[in-house]
Structure 1
Amino acid sequence: MDATAQQGHDAQTMRPARPRPLSLTEAARLTGAAAPARTVDVTGISLDSRQLRPGDLYAALPGARAHGAQFAEQAERAGAAAVLTDAEGAGLLERARVDLPVVVAPDPRRSVGTIAARVYGSRPEDGTAPVLLAVTGTNGKTTTTYFTNSLLRALGRTTGLIGTIEILAGEQAIPSRLTTPEAPHVHALLALMRERGITAASMEVSSHALEFHRVDGVRFDVAGFTNLTQDHLDLHGSMEEYFSVKARLFTPGRTGRAVVVLQDEDDVWGARMAAHARAQLGADRVDTIALRGDVAEDRDTGPDRHGADWTLTALTRRGIGHSFTLVHRDGRSLRVSTGLPGDFNVANAALAVVMVLASGVDVGQLQRALDEEDPLTTDVPGRMQLIGTEPTAVVDFAHNPDALRRALAAVEPPDGQGRVIVVFGATGERDRTKRPVMGAIAARHADVVIVTDDDPHDEEPAGIREEVAAGARAAAGARAQEVLVLAPRAVAIRAAVAMAGPGDSVLVAGRGHETVQEIRGVDHPLDDREELRAALADAQQGRREDR
């Protein structure tokens, strides 16, 4: 079973107990297609014939490797009540002689979310649906949703979460394989949360989710925007198209309110997203947060002069994290702190706070939760996760240029005496243009660069490594004294720990929480956190034996 199928398997185990039967005639109307000759009631919808339940509408869609209609016979044996497909799929069904009612739509994928919303009753307008917060952007989505989830729990809410690392419906958790699940799973999960009395939920919304209609039929209460930097250009082709896909979230049909982070005065994408959201939603339904440039210790920028609604001020170090104040243009303020390192986590924390406030929470109640519970120091698996000290050893999901630069800055030894050693690679069959860029960033911000494998997929690993290493070797103004190419990844991690002194920092970047490495269609167990933990333990044991 491939990763997408496994995600379907995991998420399909979480469905509401009481779906709302939908006639196939009504389903056809929702797609804009002609009513079928035969009609039945459907009680669910599935894109995967292997995970289909009796009574489901089987959405037989074209895929990258095969058309879903090729598996319609399997769906029929599993108890499918009907099939939704396109013209190509209809032809395949005729040849297969599947005896099920069929709805033929010009673009069936666009209708899946709408049908799922109706059959599961995921977002009724009767006040029983959870308050729903969405986070999009290149970096920071996962951490921000964990922050909002933790803050909502501190406020006494019963919470749910849908994201890259896991799906939570109250206390039940399952692993996640996609940043945003497919539309039937999203709606089933939201309906299940409502049945279980969950009052607030947070969700990551990726550009893939918007492009492939995974959140169609969902209207969020608040949507937040973190940033936009180079990533996923293999799908979108250009930064302009990447932006336009993200901007789809900030429209009246998808969200009631918006919160947009302005990274600095030169943040063109943040400013454009704020302008877009204001034009779509109305200025009074959009909050902006000015970070005012790079994070520095003991900085107090004072009131914002560029029209942002909230300004980050009084930033100071708090252990490895930071404390700061958010000041609104009307004089309101919130004191905030997070124990997670890095300027990007300051931005993530600020976004989470303003999003929760925008969802309707009283500012005084929010301040009490921030003061009493310290909710923004929650652990986020694989996101600037501290594995050891002496040397400082951190695992982070940074897998694009901007995220890698920020992660390297976050692990810089505070006294300036230690070295930074980074272990990372690049994903196969993805945007190749960022490989040398990431290599150059590593060489400019680390003393030792160790290039290794990420997830090669079906691409030759050695070629990927060399593209990254070439960028590191050619970097102008490079800080790196060594650029090494080592594989497999576990060997590279052990080499980094072996050369690290007590005052150094080791950053293992790119995979974060992931526990398998995919090579030519085969999943190999690999957890950077466990590999780093074991390497540190062995190094410590070796030092004891040498004494």
Structure 2
Amino acid sequence: MSEHIAPGTADAPDGQASPGGFRPTAVAATELGAIGRWVGLTVAGAAADVHVTGISLNSRTVERGDLYVALPGSARHGADFAATAIESGAVAVLTDDAGARLLALAPDISVPVLVVDEPRAVVGRLSALIYRSQATDGSSPSLFGVTGTNGKTTTTYFVNSLLQALGKRTGLIGTIEIVAGGDPIPSLLTTPESTDVHALLALMRERGLDAASMEVSSHAVSFRRVDGVVFDVVGFTNLTQDHLDLHGTMEEYFRTKAELFTEERARAAVVTVDDEWGRRLAAEAGLPVTTLSTLPAAPSGSADWTVIEPRPRGLGTEFTLRSSTGVELRVHTGLPGSFNVSNAALALVMVLAGGADPAEVQAALDASDPFTVAVPGRMQLVSAQPAAVVDFAHNPDALARALEAVRSTDPASRVIVVFGATGQRDQGKRPSMGAIAARLADVVIVSDDDPHDEDAAAIRADVLVGATDAKESERLDCQIMEVFPRDEAIRKAVELAAARDTILVAGRGHEVWQEVKGVNLALDDRVELRKALTARGFTVLEDDRIES
């Protein structure tokens, strides 16, 4: 999912409502006086005895007993919605000076108001205090966090799948869904707001879960969505160009990721050292680090764990993971691509860093094949002839890896790619993605991703410049075309495909809505691809099936 939520209040028009259903059923009350002291304020008189049993940034999800946090947004201030929050049961408001001035003008604010300089700077730790989200008595689930540009979603699914194979009850907080031991809840953000994160962790503890995995995006760190969270193990996949619209430079992007790798935020780390950013992170991290190399050509002993002897098995790969002390584990993933070898190896080493016994892990790998779990929209196979794959690849590195992964050994097989670029995001990656597609695909169909409020034709033009320049300057033998809207582009790809070809629809993965000029249009690449394949008489696979 492309992160595009502004760092303002969830009540502001430019934000989205936080999803509900995250809270534990019982929360011990915290007196407002104690909350006041915690943020450096004195709450006098009867107000100090007000009992707080929840916290919310969103007036639409306030429950009785909540502390409502009114944050400034880019268009509206959360204080504008305080009356709604109070009607829903908020017993107090926390805000800044601007919010306090707005509340002073409102005639119907009948609850105590706490004023601090930067409410967002305290809301995460306040949420941890109110929900007691990570107990010190061992009753809280072990928490695994995964960060990096690419591979976060698949790695968290792999961590959970391996833990389940080890007999653990698990939870998940991520791009696709949130699971807390019950039915999945569709996710709006890679990482929810800090109020929801802490409520979820408390819910997982209440339900007796053993462990949980969480995707941690750079947006989550920048917008303080994981403040107050302490991970048992945090893992790093890689760092490539993305989100520079937020961070400005790769250096700032790296520094944001690196904030997770401190003793304040995690107890241990596993860092993939396949790129220079990973090697730097491993050297600079302020907590115990286990290093992982997944490159076949890596020198022996260059990392604590190394992937060796990768070899094809079906659509996936089997490989050996060897430690610097001589421990070896036999591993298989049914998902295609060398990057899924990296994801599986990282998940495995994270579980080991969390205290799992290698012998028990090997038994679980042999018995359950946990890294062949289907991950919606991540190298998801829709048909076998032609091979038709939907993937979330939405930046240059991910697109290159996906195209390399789907290339058949059959010299007569062509790769047909459908992709675009997201509007109002890092514009510098658009020509790069076009050039990569021209180099690695035989037929390049440039279409729309999520234009948002930007002109879709202008976005396609930026991508096409990169593709056509690469084709001309490098004398590439590929066909380039522009087809829109996206469902028509998918139908065109299928129309051009022969049974031995491969179709890759990249960029949107599991997403089911396309945002165009503020309107969400129903669009699921997997559904459109299945429909187009069926219409041509090709056989499609069952939903989420992985062939191995």
8 Å CA contact retained: 2:139, 2:205: yes
**Residue 270 (structure 2) pairs with residue 274 (structure 1):** no
The residue identity in structure 1 corresponding to 2:189 is L
Deviation for aligned residue 1:416: 2.6
DSSP-derived class of the 1:479 partner: coil
Deviation for aligned residue 1:65: 2.4
**Aligned counterparts of 1:85 and 1:171: Cα–Cα separation in 2:** 34
Deviation for aligned residue 1:168: 0.6
**Aligned counterparts of 1:480 and 1:403: Cα–Cα separation in 2:** 22
Deviation for aligned residue 1:500: 0.8
DSSP-derived class of the 1:12 partner: coil
Match of 2:330 among 328, 331, 335: 335
Look up the match of 1:419.
414
Structure 1 pair 268–407 and aligned structure 2 pair: CA distance change class (3 A):
same
DSSP-derived class of the 2:317 partner: strand
Match of 1:217 among 228, 232, 239: 228
Structure 1 pair 460–480 and aligned structure 2 pair: CA distance change class (3 A):
farther
Look up the match of 1:178.
189
**Residue 114 (structure 2) pairs with residue 103 (structure 1):** yes
Deviation for aligned residue 1:541: 6.8
Deviation for aligned residue 1:153: 0.3
The residue identity in structure 2 corresponding to 1:455 is D
**Aligned counterparts of 2:121 and 2:31: Cα–Cα separation in 1:** 19
DSSP-derived class of the 1:96 partner: coil
Look up the match of 1:156.
167
**Aligned counterparts of 1:83 and 1:167: Cα–Cα separation in 2:** 28
**Aligned counterparts of 1:186 and 1:533: Cα–Cα separation in 2:** 35
Look up the match of 2:217.
206
Look up the match of 1:227.
238
8 Å CA contact retained: 2:160, 2:172: yes
1:241-320 aligned at under 5 Å gives the runs 241-263=252-274, 267-277=275-285, 280-281=286-287, 285-292=288-295, 304-306=300-302, 308-320=303-315
**Residue 390 (structure 2) pairs with residue 395 (structure 1):** yes
Across the aligned residues of Structure 1 and Structure 2, the Cα RMSD in angstroms comes to 1.8
**Aligned counterparts of 1:418 and 1:65: Cα–Cα separation in 2:** 52
DSSP-derived class of the 1:337 partner: strand
**Residue 533 (structure 2) pairs with residue 522 (structure 1):** no
Look up the match of 2:35.
27
Structure 2: unaligned runs, 5 residues or longer: 540-548
8 Å CA contact retained: 1:303, 1:311: no
The residue identity in structure 1 corresponding to 2:270 is V
**Aligned counterparts of 1:36 and 1:72: Cα–Cα separation in 2:** 21
**Aligned counterparts of 2:252 and 2:298: Cα–Cα separation in 1:** 36
**Aligned counterparts of 1:209 and 1:32: Cα–Cα separation in 2:** 26
Look up the match of 1:140.
151
Look up the match of 2:21.
13
Match of 1:83 among 93, 98, 101: 93
Look up the match of 2:474.
477
TM-score when scaled to structure 1?
0.93
8 Å CA contact retained: 1:303, 1:327: no
8 Å CA contact retained: 1:439, 1:470: yes
Deviation readout 1:248-280 (Å, 9 max, x if unpaired)? 1100011100001122xxx21010111122xx1
Match of 1:62 among 60, 72, 77: 72
Deviation readout 1:191-242 (Å, 9 max, x if unpaired)? 1111111001100000011111111111010000000000000001100000
Deviation for aligned residue 1:25: 2.2
Deviation for aligned residue 1:501: 1.0
Structure 1 pair 502–52 and aligned structure 2 pair: CA distance change class (3 A):
same
8 Å CA contact retained: 1:36, 1:102: no
Match of 1:115 among 105, 126, 132: 126
8 Å CA contact retained: 1:30, 1:111: no
Structure 1 pair 52–416 and aligned structure 2 pair: CA distance change class (3 A):
same
Deviation for aligned residue 1:382: 0.1
The residue identity in structure 2 corresponding to 1:502 is A
Deviation for aligned residue 1:9: 5.7
Identity over aligned residues, as a percent? 58
Structure 1 pair 464–302 and aligned structure 2 pair: CA distance change class (3 A):
closer
DSSP-derived class of the 2:366 partner: helix
The residue identity in structure 2 corresponding to 1:81 is V
**Aligned counterparts of 2:475 and 2:265: Cα–Cα separation in 1:** 45
Q: Which moved more, 1:33-42 or 1:83-92?
A: 33-42
Match of 2:375 among 356, 374, 380: 380
8 Å CA contact retained: 1:517, 1:526: yes
DSSP-derived class of the 1:58 partner: strand
Structure 1 pair 190–383 and aligned structure 2 pair: CA distance change class (3 A):
same
Deviation readout 1:77-120 (Å, 9 max, x if unpaired)? 11111111111111111112322211111110011111111111
Look up the match of 2:82.
72
Look up the match of 1:128.
139
**Aligned counterparts of 1:203 and 1:514: Cα–Cα separation in 2:** 19
Deviation for aligned residue 1:517: 0.6
8 Å CA contact retained: 1:424, 1:450: yes
DSSP-derived class of the 1:336 partner: strand
Look up the match of 2:543.
none
Structure 1 pair 16–461 and aligned structure 2 pair: CA distance change class (3 A):
same
8 Å CA contact retained: 2:418, 2:447: yes
Deviation for aligned residue 1:35: 3.6
**Aligned counterparts of 1:129 and 1:541: Cα–Cα separation in 2:** 49
Look up the match of 1:296.
none
DSSP-derived class of the 1:379 partner: coil
**Aligned counterparts of 2:41 and 2:334: Cα–Cα separation in 1:** 53
Look up the match of 1:298.
none
**Residue 499 (structure 2) pairs with residue 502 (structure 1):** yes
**Aligned counterparts of 1:147 and 1:407: Cα–Cα separation in 2:** 18
How many residues align structurally?
525
The residue identity in structure 2 corresponding to 1:43 is T
DSSP-derived class of the 2:269 partner: strand
TM-score when scaled to structure 2?
0.93
The residue identity in structure 1 corresponding to 2:347 is A
Look up the match of 2:542.
none
Deviation readout 1:351-408 (Å, 9 max, x if unpaired)? 0000001101111000100011100000000000000122110000000000000000
**Aligned counterparts of 1:66 and 1:139: Cα–Cα separation in 2:** 33
Deviation for aligned residue 1:470: 1.1
Structure 1: unaligned runs, 5 residues or longer: 294-300, 543-547
Deviation for aligned residue 1:304: 1.5
Match of 1:367 among 359, 362, 374: 362
Deviation for aligned residue 1:458: 0.9
